Structure 1
Amino acid sequence: MGNGTTVQEFILEGFPALQHLGKFFFTLILLAYSVAFTGNTIIITLTWADYHLQIPMHFFLSNFSFLENCFITTVIPKLLLIFLWGMQKISFLGCLIQAFFFLFWGSTGFLLLAVMSLDRYIAICNPLHYPSIMTRKVCFLLVIFCYVSSFFVVVGVILKVSMLSFCGSNVIKHFLCDVTPLTHLSCSDTKFFESLVFALAILVLVSSLTITIIAYTNIIIKIVNLPSVKERQKAFSTCSSHLIVLCLLYGSSVFIYLKPNQAKTFDTNREAALVNTVVTPLLNPFIYTLRNKQVKQALRNILYRIKLARWIH
């Protein structure tokens, strides 16, 4: 920590204009959090309980659901406390920890989405070689790569933030600790650091988005050239849910992070971050389950077994 640091805690501003409706938004966000967490947990449970789902696509999906649960748990509990009791204070260390996990789970999720795009590309464009390419070992290594790469990128950013000096205002114009609003409170010269964060955001977001675009461009070309309408519908149905999730996540994240000068955009960033941390995680389980026949069938099987067990007892 820099020698000039006098700030021991920060105050998360949250949404001042909505604070008088705190109990209403507390109930709304708690409901969204509960549904999202439960939905993701169901996907994880189904994937590991039903052998029909123990294939690479659903292995990656269960990992993504795990990341989503970790991501929303990093942010939403504190937001709930802000709305219900106005508990806006957070310690310097607590803020750094939240910032680390917020960026870590988020960037790992984007890398995993790129891996899922590659998986769909190989499955649709090279179906004969798919079993030999996407082996269990390869799948595990790809997931580990996502975690390790994200860790080294994020830990460098957070260590750099911890060395900045904070000696002025301690009010963060956000509902969570993110590096951008934090750096604007620093007394240090942050021009180089802001450029570094922008470059790392490009590295994670743009690289994963580029891989995704290339993969889906080839997928679309392959689908269009399939001989029958039934084959085209079947091929598209396997990746349509993934495409919807990609659009939701990349849309808000690119809006937040890929802007070199963000000093005047905190209000819009807050709204986009709220979409990323509440709305999108709420929709993801429904998108993946309602648009995936295998997951729906596995869910029916589990419910039938539970019903049968109760009837027997």
Structure 2
Amino acid sequence: MTTCCARLSKVYMITTNLLYACLGVAFIALGLIGMRDGFSGATLFPENVFKYLAILGAIICVASIVGIIGAYIRKTTVTYLYMIIIIGALVFQVLIGIRVYQKAANAAHYLSDLWPVASASYRLNLQNQFSCCGYQTIIDNYVESDTCQPTASLTSKLPPCAPALQSFVKSTFGKVYLAIFAALALELLAMSNAITLLCTGSHVDQDEEDDRRKRRKSGIRLDDMTVDTPTTLVGQEEPKYYAYSNNQEDMNQSNRYDSYDMYRHTNSPNHYSDNHNANTFNNSRLANGNGGAYY
């Protein structure tokens, strides 16, 4: 059951981080396109927002790589590093979303403060992109161009830029901050997976796993593992034990055989006959001469 859960967790971790990496690539692409003014109205976004989006995408890609590595290398340090990067990316992403939302919620105030202080090239770019002239009126801080000439006839005049710019900010900014906040679901999903690995106990340190693997190879039951349990592999210590045991058995067996041979020799008929002849010989010597020489 634990092995099955570990495999499912591994697949879930890889899938989540692949989706997370796609989100990071999308943020990087959006940031690079916005910094190059790749679409109409890109310059209306708050300053450095696209740069922050590109940095956020890079952080998310790094987090996804660490998460995929953590799916294969089950180390606590890797998981904690993964969680720290996700938390940093999440906070950074929320701050960007809040900033974009504030501008979208107060589009009129944001643009009325932006237009007067903007440079002539900036306002000219917006007039050309939205086909307008001036801001509130055609003579309100306008930049003269081929299409924006307030002194010309009424038929050649363009509408003021305020309505078009406010509509763009409300719609486009709204879509961007909704996408940013919706993307938080992937980060929370990845975070929940990392927390689950730590809390359920399915996360096993790699060093501990290596030690357990060595113990299994040594033939020692995992239930009998203690601090004093030897971890020497078979072929080093155990042969000494077996060799000692075999020598002891051989010695015991040899002692048993020696005892049996001595008993058999002592109690054999030949041994009894030899003893009887020796006693008869001694008695005859005593009878002939009180221990004299016998010829």
Under TM normalisation by the shorter chain, which class is it? 0.3 to 0.5
Larger CA Rg, structure 1 vs 2: 2
Which has the bigger relative contact order, CA under 8 A and spacing at least 6? 1
Q: TM-score, normalised by structure 2?
A: 0.37
Q: Give the TM-score, by structure 1 length.
A: 0.35
Higher normalized helix content (fraction of residues) = 1
